[in-house]
Amino acid sequence: MVQKSHGPRKGTRRKFRAKKITLTRRLKTFKTGDIVHIDICPGKKMPYHRFQGKTGRVAGGRGRAYVIELKDGQKPKKLIIMPEHLKSGGVNGNNK
């Protein structure tokens, strides 16, 4: 009998369908305080699949990545996410 997988990508077959990552998406920049949506592109350096579709606020930068603050239920969390997994949007007028 085969043992059940408990890896970080379990249950992600539909969530991580291949999307084309454009150069524009990789080089996108955000300012501190911008509202962003997490839209995970499959590949390396991904956030955990629980955060797919969540919305947070940029708290700062860390290298090429951004620190995103959001609430997971009632608990505040900070995620370090590369720009190819982020989409701008929300209240700040950055709906491009």
Q: What is the mean pLDDT of residues 46-51?
A: 86
Radius of gyration of the chain (CA): 14
The helix/strand/coil state of 63 is: coil
Burial (0-12, 13-18, 19+ Cβ within 10 Å), 47: middle
The share of the chain scoring above pLDDT 90, in percent, equals 46
pTM assigned to the model: 0.79
Domains, the chain = 23-88 (2.30.30.70)
pLDDT of residue 91: 65
Residue-wise pLDDT for 71-82, tens only, equals 999 999 999 999
